[in-house]
Structure 1
Amino acid sequence: MSFGTLIEAFLLGLLEGFTEFLPVSSTGHILLAGHFLGFESQGKVFEVLIQLGAILAILVVYFQRFWQVLVTLPSSQRSRNFVLGIVIAFLPAAVIGALAHGFIKSVLFESPALICVTLILGGIVLLWVDTLKIRPIHTDAMAFPKSLALKIGFAQCLAMIPGVSRSGSTIVAGLLLGASKPAAAEFSFFLALPTMAGAFAYDLYKNRDALSADDGIIIAVGFIAAFVAALAVVRSLLTFVSKHGYTPFGWWRIAVGGVGLVALALVG
């Protein structure tokens, strides 16, 4: 393990944290960056495990609300409905992700051209969605109907294709189904916890015998960087979205995907 590898891990961790909760595909960004940097991780496990840093950022920012839900769970129907909605939304990705894990990691994660194309297509979708005049029906992320939560959960499965974006697919689904922009983003935050925690645990289990002490250090560096970066994004994203919508992220995706395709054509 070289000092250069640690620097790359730190930079990729920052990139993960900055992009995890934006509808731009953090996985797509770090896989592309890793490809051009020549960064390699055992079974692409680094790219999954550092997401735990982003999970902890959500827990820090929303600790008071999560704690309130926890302590009122036995007595509050609203808290129980919220938890059940998150569980329902999580289940499709849990089942499909476990069944398709090998294909996702060995094929989709190794296709930088596919990532660039999905970044561009996702950007076009965001630009289109931001032009729609949808009157929000659901403005409270903690009170989404179960049917809405399930549909958002199935939409999240699209993000198993790197470049699609977990937050992007869940936010767009929420918007098209009548959620307000802040509520759709907030529900995406909440849904990230079981989804990313599940991916972390499953990947760690699958690669437990292949990881070395050096891998652990590299992952720890990326994890810390992701936590710090995600903390900054989560605190400011809802305000930004309320003012500017999702158009800036759509153009960003198109730019990154386009530059990526040109770079692949030039240097492979």
Structure 2
Amino acid sequence: MTELLAALLLGIIEGITEFLPISSTGHLLIAERWLGHRSDLFNISIQAGAILAVVLIYRQRLWDLAMGFLGKRAMAEHSPAGMPMDAAEARDYAFKLAAAFGITAVLGVIVKKLGFELPDEVTPIAWALVIGGVWMIAAEHFAAKRAAVLGERAKITWTVAILVGIAQVVAGVFPGTSRSGATIFVALLAGTTSRAAATEFAFLVGIPTMFAATGYELIDVIHSGEAANEDWAALAVAFVASAITAFISVKWLLRYIQSHRFTAFAIYRFILGAALLFLVPTGS
């Protein structure tokens, strides 16, 4: 397989899996065993492509939040979750996004300094996929029961914001967990019974989180001199592929969750996790 084709496939995998609750890290680690290991700069770049796609999708939402936060005007546009806001609500929402990101940033730096991370092996990824599937079904079950009693709640509380920040760190430590999955379902368990509202908050807080993580890793790559040996053509192909497929997959997901639960993703995680445990029993 040529380098460009391998880069294209890795970019597509990243774009599809980054924001779906099925773990992009887990899929990339598995795919690299067939397509070859890539540099840190390559992995950073394809992640940046996926972030760019989400920024484009939420560009109006981000602009309205900024304007509402500054008190310049009320938010006239509806978000993908269907939540128009006035200036006061926009400021409150923005502060909660900032709090979730701040918690992730502080805890993430602490975890990084302590050097705590799991080895990039198949077995822990497989178990994370299976356990994450159980977590998803349980979260939606309890959210549905709560919604039946109290009605659908789209409001993001401070408890939700804090727990989402912690969930992002947990997802970063455990490959296969899925950052989007961890944050969406902790929001559902913590009281936001609307799938659309929980997903939107998870995606919006993921933008500064992933930009910060990308920048942090990029500084390390530049200082180490790895960039000098990079295959820039392959990197460019992967970046574009990641951005395009992420845009398509996120737009599809936002429509899908309007009328469907996340059960199909949980089943996929069960099947993939079980297959990995069965086919690669040594975890090599």
TM-score (normalised: structure 2): 0.83
Distance 1:73 1:131, change over 3 A: closer
Alignment of 1:2-21 (within 5 A): 4-21=2-19
- 1:131 offset after TM fit, Å? 2.8
- 1:249 offset after TM fit, Å? 0.5
Between 164-173 and 131-140, the greater mean CA deviation after superposition: 131-140
Q: Is 2:55 aligned against 1:46?
A: no
What whole-Å deviation, never above 9, does each CA across 1:69-95 have from its counterpart, x for those lacking one?
A: 223332122222222111110122212
CA distance in 2, matches of 1:40, 1:25: 18
Task: Tell me which of 202, 207, 229 is aligned to 1:193.
Answer: 207
Could you say what the CA RMSD is over the residues aligned between the two structures, in angstroms?
Answer: 2.1
SS at match of 2:133: helix
- 1:39 offset after TM fit, Å? 1.5
Number of equivalenced pairs: 259
Match of 1:96 in 2: 107
- 1:215 offset after TM fit, Å? 4.1
- 1:267 offset after TM fit, Å? 9.3
What whole-Å deviation, never above 9, does each CA across 1:45-67 have from its counterpart, x for those lacking one?
A: 43343111111111111111212
Flag the structure with larger Rg: 2
The unaligned stretches of length 5 or more in structure 1 are: none
Q: Is 2:225 aligned against 1:181?
A: no
Alignment of 1:107-146 (within 5 A): 108=118, 110-132=120-142, 133-135=145-147, 138-140=153-155, 144-146=156-158
- 1:137 offset after TM fit, Å? 5.7
Match of 1:33 in 2: 31
What whole-Å deviation, never above 9, does each CA across 1:158-215 have from its counterpart, x for those lacking one?
A: 1011101101110111100111111111111101101110110001011112223534
- 1:123 offset after TM fit, Å? 1.1
Indicate conservation of the 8 Å contact 1:27/1:47, yes or no: no
Indicate conservation of the 8 Å contact 1:5/1:39, yes or no: no
Moved over 6 A (4+): none
CA distance in 2, matches of 1:146, 1:267: 39
Name the aligned partner's letter for residue 83 of structure 1.
A
CA distance in 2, matches of 1:149, 1:126: 18
Indicate conservation of the 8 Å contact 1:6/1:221, yes or no: yes
Name the aligned partner's letter for residue 254 of structure 1.
F
Indicate conservation of the 8 Å contact 1:52/1:197, yes or no: yes
What whole-Å deviation, never above 9, does each CA across 1:21-55 have from its counterpart, x for those lacking one?
A: 111111111111112x151123x443343111111
Name the aligned partner's letter for residue 15 of structure 2.
G
